[in-house]
Structures are given as structure tokens and as C-alpha cells.
Amino acid sequence: MKNIKKELEYIKHIEYYEGLGRHKFNVAKLMMIFVHHLGLDIMYIKKAYLVGMLHDVGKSIIDFDILTKPEKLTSEEMETMKKHVEFGYENTAGYDSEVWRGVVEHHENFDGTGYPTMLSGDGISVLGRCARICDMYDALRSKRSYKSIMSHEAAIIEMEKDIHHLDLELFEQFKTMRQMRGTDEYYPVVQTNLNINANEFKSNNEETKIIC
Ligand SMILES: [Fe+2]
Ligand SMILES: [Fe+2]
């Protein structure tokens, strides 16, 4: 007889990792078009893509029950969850410093209330500030164990409630970018022929592994 409980657990794992996989691609694509929209050069666009791909790499070490908990996390669980940024240090330490900073600063808030180091304003790298916006936007637009999908408009309203966490100038640019595209079809927007080799941005010769 099949073990239904085990099968359900397995499905939960698959759904979670598919969701996380989509999230990293969504954030990577969004980072790329955002940085392109800001007028930054091709090298920066490639770095932005890598930041998106790697930003939550540390979640692979967090307990699965915490990652998929449908209820609000306790303050202790929240502290554990926040550690995904620190766990990401190790996985990205060999990268170009702008890529590394983008990853480790993706939860820093513009007003200095973020984590892990409470950086503020221009003390946060441009890629870190862009990642804060793109990550938040995709999380709001996506289904999570604790929330359903939001429309573009609802996501922007939600972000405006936490506006002090974001670089206002960059956020204004982000909204302009959305309007310029003139569509709510966010997910399939990017078709790219960019040939991005992550090893280009590493300071050692180890083979690159992007796991999430
Ligand atoms: Fe994160
Ligand atoms: Fe994320």
C-alpha cells in the first residue's frame, strides 16, 4: 500500500523547489531588464542576472518545515529564516565583489532597518538596492505557502506601504519600466540571447554551481 503521507511530503518538496526555481529565474530576469532600463552596461546586466540567480542560495540550508510553513513564522523561526543571507556568503564568496554584495545585501533596507548588517542609503550597493525591489516584487506576484498571487497593481501598492525600505529613485524607475512595457504579462517578458558564463565573475577557477 502506498504511503500517502510520504507522497504528499514529496509533492510538497517538488512544489517548493519548483517555486524557488521560478523565483530565482524571475528575479534574475527582472534584475536584468531593470538594470538595462537604468542604462547600465552589458557587464552590469550580466552581474544583475547572477545576483538574481544566487540571491536566495542560502535557503538550501534552512529547515524545510520553516521554508514551507503556511502560518506566520514565530520570531525564532524568522531569525532562522533570515540566516539564509549569511549562508549565502559562503556560496558566493568567490564571485566578483558587485555580485557578492548584491546577494548579501538583498534584504538590507534603504532606511537601515534591514538585515544582516543594517546598511542604509548609498551604503547599500546599486545591485543590492535593485535586488531588494525585484525580490520583493516577485515575492508579492508569486504564490507562497502563506499567500496567493497578487496583481501588478496590488504588488505596487503593497511595496509603497514599505517605501522607506526601498531606494525611492530606483523604485520610481522600476514603476516607469513597468508602465513602459504596457502589459501586466510580467513572467514571460524576457527573451534573451545573452550568453552568461558565471565563471567570468569568479575570482578562482572552481566550477560554478548555482543551486537553489
Ligand atoms: Fe532572500
Ligand atoms: Fe528571494
Predicted confidence (pLDDT) per residue in 120-141, tens digit: 999 999 999 999 999 999 989 8
Give the ligand at the shortest distance from the Cα of 62: 1
Cell triple for 210: 548555482
Cell triple for 7: 507522497
67 phi and psi angles, rounded to 5 deg:
-60, -35
Q: How far apart are CA 93 and CA 43, in angstroms?
A: 19
User: Which residue blocks in the chain are alpha helix, DSSP H?
Assistant: 4-37, 42-54, 64-67, 75-82, 84-92, 97-104, 126-141, 152-161, 168-181
Q: Which residues lie below 8 Å from residue 140, measured CB to CB, with a gap of 6+? A: 150, 154, 155, 158, 159
Give the ligand at the shortest distance from the Cα of 108: 1
Four-residue CA torsion sign, 151, 153, 157, 163: positive
**Residue 153, pLDDT score:** 86
pLDDT at 25 over 60: yes
**Residue 161, pLDDT score:** 96
Least reliable range by pLDDT among 31-35, 144-148, 170-174, 200-204: 200-204
pTM across the whole model? 0.83
| 54 CA distance to ligand 2 middle (Å) | 9
* Dihedral Cα 37, 42, 47, 53, nearest 10 deg: 70
Tell me: domain 4-184, CATH 1.10.3210.10, correct? yes
Domain locations in the chain as residue ranges = 4-184
Query: Within 13 Å and on the Cβ side, how many CA atoms surround 99?
Result: 27
| 17 CA distance to ligand 2 middle (Å) | 13
147 phi and psi angles, rounded to 5 deg:
-155, 160
Question: 196 and 44 in contact (C-beta within 8 Å)?
Answer: no
Q: Where does the pLDDT of residue 172 fall: very low under 50, low under 70, confident under 90, or very high at 90 and above?
A: very high
| 21 CA distance to ligand 2 middle (Å) | 10
The percentage of residues in the chain with a pLDDT greater than 70, rounded to a whole number, is 80
Give the ligand at the shortest distance from the Cα of 52: 2
**Residue 178, pLDDT score:** 62
| 139 CA distance to ligand 2 middle (Å) | 7
Question: 140 and 159 in contact (C-beta within 8 Å)?
Answer: yes
**Any idea what DSSP says for residue 144?**
B
**Residue 209, pLDDT score:** 38
Q: How far apart are CA 161 and CA 49, in angstroms?
A: 27
Taking only the tens place, the pLDDT of each residue in 42-96 is 999 999 999 999 999 999 888 888 888 888 899 999 999 999 999 888 778 888 9
Four-residue CA torsion sign, 157, 166, 201, 56: negative
- The C-alpha R_g of the chain, in whole angstroms, comes to 17
pLDDT at 2 over 70: no
